[in-house]
Amino acid sequence: MYNLLKGKKGIIFGALNEHSIAWKVAERAHEEGAQFVLTNAPIAMRMGELNGLAAKTGSQIIPADATSMEDLTNLVEKSMEILGGKLDFVLHSIGMSVNVRKGKHYTDPSYDFTTKGWDVSAVSFHKTMNVLYNKQAMNDWGSIVALTYMAAQRVFPDYNDMADNKAYLESIARSFGYFFGRDHKVRVNTISQSPTPTTAGSGVKGFDGFLAYADQMSPLGNATALECADYTLTLFSDLTKKVTLQNLFHDGGFSNMGVSDAVMSKFVDEK
């Protein structure tokens, strides 16, 4: 290991189980010398295995509903108490669509479900940064990262309203990132990751087929959760101090492909 995050302190949102990207980020951040607080919604904590991760990484857990300003304020204040000062990094790894869970088609959603998913998946990022910004909770040259997906730019029919949520999330990163950079020298970026078999990702209709398709389309193949964690750590580190307001594709090249030989071969008869 490289001691890439030695002495750095932060908050990691969204670890649920060992398949979660946030879980891998926590493991790798610990290996690279960071200290951090883990957080997730109370209901998600009951579903997951967060206590084991906390024990493994020597971390404390603070439950928080990321849509609640009161919970987020408590999270940030207690995290600074526990960690002994301001924060150097924050990972927002939260996403949820009630419409997807309930099998509601994009053309016929429940708008109450839409609003809930939008709040959890995107507005929560604005709320988190609101608290961090106004509490001046981040050290200079700190780094805030959210996980997204390229359905924000292209149509993936079964991704449903999560595509809209991710588009809004990326816009928040740019807009809030300007003020955070100008006023506090804090970086804000999003990582657009390959389709990854997490608990959330696997809930999307036809996910297994799309996972195989993306792997065949990408010259380097799909990026794994662990590889995404490694990439995230570079953004938390001092090696990327001038990288901000970016949506960074981490997808084996998928985002720049039109078609691949492997995919074309399935539609062309060999003579």
- φ/ψ of residue 141, rounded to 5: 65, 20
**β strands within the chain, DSSP E:** 9-13, 35-39, 60-61, 87-92, 138-148, 187-193, 247-250
Q: Is 166 annotated as a binding residue?
A: yes
Beta strands 138-148 and 87-92: pairing type? parallel
- 192 in Cβ contact with 148 (< 8 Å): yes
* Assigned token pair, 62: 């603070």
* Assigned token pair, 174: 């740019």
Question: What is the rounded CA–CA span in Å between residue 90 and residue 56?
Answer: 19
Question: What is the rounded CA–CA span in Å between residue 34 and residue 155?
Answer: 38
What does the pLDDT read at residue 141?
98
Residue with token string 């492997």: 262
- 151 in Cβ contact with 210 (< 8 Å): no
- φ/ψ of residue 247, rounded to 5: -105, 110
Whether 159 is catalytic: yes
Q: Is 20 annotated as a binding residue?
A: yes
How crowded is the C-beta side of 233, counted as CA atoms within 13 Å?
Answer: 27
What does the pLDDT read at residue 210?
84
What does the pLDDT read at residue 208?
86
- 250 in Cβ contact with 225 (< 8 Å): no
Q: Is 252 annotated as a binding residue?
A: no
Question: What is the rounded CA–CA span in Å between residue 37 and residue 58?
Answer: 9
User: What CATH code would you report for 9-261?
Assistant: 3.40.50.720
* 8-state DSSP, 95: -
Catalytic residue among 106, 133, 159, 231: 159
Positive or negative, the CA dihedral 167, 187, 65, 195 is positive
Q: Give, for all 271 residues of the chain, the pLDDT tens digit.
A: 899 999 999 999 999 999 999 999 999 999 999 999 999 998 877 777 999 999 999 999 999 999 999 999 999 999 999 999 999 999 999 999 999 999 999 999 999 999 999 999 999 999 999 999 999 999 999 999 999 999 999 999 999 999 999 999 999 999 999 999 999 999 999 999 999 987 766 667 778 888 999 999 999 999 999 999 999 999 999 999 999 999 999 999 999 999 999 999 988 865 4
Catalytic residue among 2, 106, 149, 168: 149
Residue 35: CB partners within 8 Å, gap ≥ 6?
A: 8, 9, 10, 58, 59, 83
* Assigned token pair, 119: 């709040």
Residue with token string 């200290």: 35
Question: What is the rounded CA–CA span in Å between residue 156 and residue 150?
Answer: 9
What does the pLDDT read at residue 270?
56
